[in-house]
Structure 1
Amino acid sequence: MEMARCLIVDDSSVIRKVAKRILSSADIMVTEAATGEEAIALSAHEMADIIIVDSSLPDMDSSDVVRGLMTLPSEGKPHILLCLSALDLGAIMRAKRAGAKGYMLKPFTRAQLLEHFREFRFAA
C-alpha cells in the first residue's frame, strides 16, 4: 500500500507544524496550505487522500474550500475533515453538504488525529 497523503489547510503555521509532525511520524506524506486558494491550487496539481480544512480561513469560507476541492477532477475524491476551534453545527452541516466527511476540534491530540486516518483507511 502506498503512503497516504494529507493536506493540512490552516492559516496557523503552528497548527500545520504540529499536525505535520504527528502525521509524518506515522508515515503519512504531508503538504501544507495557509489559504483556501492555495489548497485548491495544490490539489489541482496533486490530490491528497485526506484534507484537513480549518473552519476559519482568511480568504474563503470553509464550505467553499470543500466544494472547490470536491469539484476538482481527480481519480479518487479526497476524505475531507473540517477542523474547528469550537463546535459550530452550522459550519459542520455546510461543510458536510459541500462534501466533507466529518470534523474534529482543535486543539487535537496525536491519538485523535491518527484515529481519523485509521477510520479513513478502513473506509477506503
Structure 2
Amino acid sequence: MADCLIVDDSEAMRDVAGRLLTGLGHSVRQAAGPDATLDACEEGMPEVLLLDWDLPAMGALDVLRAAADFPVDKRPVIILCATENDARQFALARAAGAPYHVLKPFDRESLRDVMRRAGFEERAVA
C-alpha cells in the first residue's frame, strides 16, 4: 500500500483517481495545485505523487524542480498524468524526476499497471 498525493486542478479527476487508487488499497490525499502540493508534502511526504502535466500558474515542471529539493531518502515516486501521448513531454518529465507516466483518462487497470511498475502492489480492500 502506498500513500499517494493526487495533484490535479480538476476536482473530478482528483476524485476519479482517488476512488481508483483507494480501490487498489492505497491511501489518498489530494491537492488542487502546486502551492497546495508543496504544503501537503511539508505536512507529510507521500510515497507517490500523481502529478497532472497541465497545472495552472506553476506547471508540472516547476513542481518537479521543487521536488528535486526534497531530501533524497524521502522523495516520492512521481507519476506524470497527461492527456497527450507526447514523447517530448515524457522525456522532459523523466529528466526532471518523473520516471513514470499514465495517460488520461485512465482506468483501474492503467493505474494498477503504473503503480506496479513504480514498485507498489495493490492491497486487498476489506
TM-score normalised by structure 2 residue count: 0.87
Query: 2:94 & 2:5 partners in 1: Cα distance?
Result: 18
Aligned to 2:76: 78
Q: Which amino acid aligns with 2:19?
A: R
Residue pairs, 1:43-62, within 5 angstroms:
43-62=41-60
Aligned to 1:91: 89
The CA RMSD over aligned residues, in Å, is: 1.5
Matched, 1:33 2:34: no
Does 66-75 or 30-39 show the bigger shift?
A: 66-75
User: Residue 74 of structure 1: CA displacement?
Assistant: 6.0
Q: Which amino acid aligns with 1:20?
A: G
Residue pairs, 1:105-124, within 5 angstroms:
105-121=103-119
**Matched residue count:** 120
Query: 2:116 & 2:91 partners in 1: Cα distance?
Result: 23
Query: 2:96 & 2:72 partners in 1: Cα distance?
Result: 16
Greater relative contact order, per chain length (Cα 8 Å cut-off, separation 6+): 2
| Structure 2 segments unaligned to the other structure (5+ residues) | 121-126
Matched, 1:69 2:70: no
Query: 1:92 & 1:44 partners in 2: Cα distance?
Result: 26
Does 85-94 or 26-35 show the bigger shift?
A: 85-94
* SS of residue in 2 equivalent to 1:103: strand
User: Residue 87 of structure 1: CA displacement?
Assistant: 1.8
CA contact (8 A) 2:53 2:60 kept: yes
* CA shift in 2, pair 1:85/1:35, >3 Å: same
User: Residue 9 of structure 1: CA displacement?
Assistant: 0.4
* SS of residue in 2 equivalent to 1:75: helix
* SS of residue in 2 equivalent to 1:8: strand
Query: 1:10 & 1:89 partners in 2: Cα distance?
Result: 21
* SS of residue in 1 equivalent to 2:74: coil
